[in-house]
Amino acid sequence: MSTSPTSSKATATFPNAVSMTTVHSNASETRQSTSPSSSGESSSASDSEYQACAGSHRPASRRSRMERPRIGERQRSNTIIVPKGPEVKEVARRSYPPDDARAMSPRRNSEDIERLERGLRETLKEQARNLQSSLAALAEKIDEVKNDHDKLESENRFLQDYIGGLTRTMSKDNLGRSASTSGKKGRR
């Protein structure tokens, strides 16, 4: 495994990485050397042309397209990139006191675990009691609201009946008055 001078990542599939950031002045010569030709001298000619542009970062033995594995069979690039040099750091493990929450490890003995379980059970029981009392308070409020609603409905019916009776008596009185006034007007 080797690296290019410009990158710090190594590739396993291609022995020498090609830098895409450098500009080649003789790019047309390089392209001609990699393209197949029909003459028999093509291999020696392309080798000599390839040796001529040795200043570029391309390897001397480059795979042709026929030798490459198909896209589906190739390894993913994230598996073949390996950091190299000072970038590789070993993670130092920190040590915590045994009663610290970050020190969750098999170092806890059964007594500590039982004590933690008891504490958790007590807090859960307390939360359950609080929830039950709040639910009971809500149920009482719901009953009060239902009772008030029923009371208001019965009073509403009473008022509707009362208003209906008043309107009937008013209409009867108005009919009686209008009949008596119409009879007096006709006699004159």
**130 SS3 class:** helix
Contact yes or no for 3/75 (Cβ under 8 A)? no
Which CA distances in Å does 165 have to 128, 154, 156, 157, 168?
55, 17, 14, 12, 5
The reply to whether 136 falls in a domain is: yes
Q: Read off the tokens for 149.
A: 């609603």
Going by pLDDT thresholds of 50, 70 and 90, the confidence category of residue 157 is very high
The reply to whether 34 falls in a domain is: no
The reply to whether 168 falls in a domain is: yes
The reply to whether 83 falls in a domain is: no
The reply to whether 151 falls in a domain is: yes
The reply to whether 75 falls in a domain is: no
To the nearest 10°, the Cα dihedral for 34, 39, 40, 42?
-20
pLDDT, tens digit, 9 for 90 and up, residues 10-25: 445 555 555 555 444 4
The reply to whether 140 falls in a domain is: yes
Provide the domain limits for residue 129: 110-175
Threshold 0.75, pTM exceeds: no
- Look at the chain and report how many structural domains it folds into: 1
pLDDT, tens digit, 9 for 90 and up, residues 41-72: 444 444 444 454 444 555 556 667 777 777 77
**89 SS3 class:** coil
The reply to whether 188 falls in a domain is: no
Contact yes or no for 30/56 (Cβ under 8 A)? yes
Other C-beta atoms closer than 10 Å to the C-beta of 16 total 16
